[in-house]
Each structure stands twice: as C-alpha cells, then as structure tokens.
Amino acid sequence: MRAPTRWHRCFGCDLGRLRSVMAQAPPMEQQRVESMTHRTGHRNRFVQLFGFAEGRILLTGLALMSLYFTWLGAVLIVAPQRCQLYLGMTATHVLFGRAAGMSFGYALDLGHGIVIPANMVIETVLVLLCYPLFAFGLKRMLVFDWLKRVTDRIERTAGANHQRIRRFGIPGLFVFVCFPFWMTGPLVGCIIGHLMGLRPWLNMGVVIGGTCLAICGWGVVLLELNEHIASYSAYGPMILVAILILVALVVLLMERRRHDGDDR
C-alpha cells in the first residue's frame, strides 16, 4: 500500500481539526436557534396580545397619546412659554388627579377652551393605557411584580364596590365614575366593568363617558371657585392647587396604608 505523503498527513490533520470543529458546531448552533426561538416566542406572544380587544384599546391609547404630544410639540414651536403651562397642567393631572390638574390650569388663566378638552384627553389616555395592562394582569397574560401588586390592590378596591354597582348595571357604573375625586376612580370603574362582564369597548365607552362628564362638572365648579378665591387674593388659586395636591397625597397614603394592613 502506498505510504502517505506529507501532503496527505497535513490534509489529514486539517480534516481532523475540521471534523472536531463541526462536531462542536451543532450544539452551539442549537443553542443559538433556541435563543432566537425564545426571543421570537416572546415577540410573538407580545404581538398576540394585540389580537385581543384589550390590545387594540392599548394601541388606541398609544395613538391618542402620540397625537397629544404632537400637539404639545407644535405649541412648543409656536409658543414655548404656553407649552410649559400645558406640560405643568398635564404633569399635575397625572400625578395628583383631575381636580388638581384642572385647578392648576384655571390658576394660570387657561380657560375652559384648553383646560376641559386637554384634561379629557389626558384622562382618556390614562384609561386606555392602564385598563389593558390591568386586564392582562388579571388574566395573568402579563406578569410583572409591580403590575401584580397594583392589580391586586385595585382588584380588591373594585371587588368591594362590585356587588353594589352590579345591581344598577351600566347606569350605576356611569354614575360611579362621574363622582370620584382621585384618579383611581376611572381605573377602579374599568375593573368593576370587567368584573361585571362588560365587553371591553363598551366598558371603555361607559367609563370614558362618565369621566368626561365629571371633567365638565369639575370645570364649572373649579373655575367659579378660582374666580371667587382670586377676588380675595392673587395667590388664592395656587393655594387651592396646593390644598388639592395635599388632599390627594393624604388620600393616596391612607389607601396605601389600608391595603398594606389588609395584606398583613
């Protein structure tokens, strides 16, 4: 038999190394494929959420929020100082509730034409964004620690009012959402509507309708109150805003302490 030449020996060594590399490649490739599949699975699961009505509600909220910030951006270009007032009113509403946010707007002499529509949009965006997250949390389709804590807290609050509101049906839910002071009112109303078995879009219609009616009522009362207080002191409207913020903080702390006591 012909003896192997130097070329054959070198080629044999290279072939051996190549086989060794190829033997190691499949597990690495398999791991890479599994990683890609894992990420793709998460993406597909996230995309599947938008196949539900709650997912489409979330998309609607994101679209409305984009339009609102586009409007703020346009105001920033045309009147930067006025945009700062709108941003302040928006932040106050989100952090401390509609009463404080609207009072802040009236204290800055923005008037009904800006305060009422802007706060309607802000509250609608909050409802459209928060309700789907809570609904997915209740269904355990989205599981985050912070979301679970908030969902459990709101679910307990909604459960305490559920049976009483359920007796009156949709009109009862509408009235319930009209009168709450704190921002949680519409959110609790959404969960109550969910527990009542209302279809998601009907639930949104009732809650947002009641919320907008409440904002109109708050607008009339707060503007009159601001004008009355301003007749005594120029600082009166801002003092009213500070009082409403303080009340909102006290209510929030009391609710949190009560729920912490229930957890124990």
Q: What was the pLDDT predicted at 8?
A: 46
- 38: confidence class by pLDDT, cuts 50, 70, 90: very low
Instruction: Record the pTM.
Output: 0.74
| Percent of the chain surpassing pLDDT 90 | 32
Q: Is 172 exposed, middle or buried (0-12, 13-18, 19+ CB in 10 A)?
A: middle
For the chain, domain boundaries: 46-263
Query: Per-residue DSSP letters for 155-185?
Result: HHHHHHHHHHHHTTHHHHHHHHHHS-SSTHH
Instruction: Tell me if residue 104 falls in helix, strand or coil.
Output: helix
CA 158 to chain centre: 18
Q: 138-156, pLDDT tens digit by residue?
A: 777 766 666 667 666 666 6
| Percent of the chain surpassing pLDDT 70 | 68
Residue 62 has pLDDT above 90, yes or no: yes
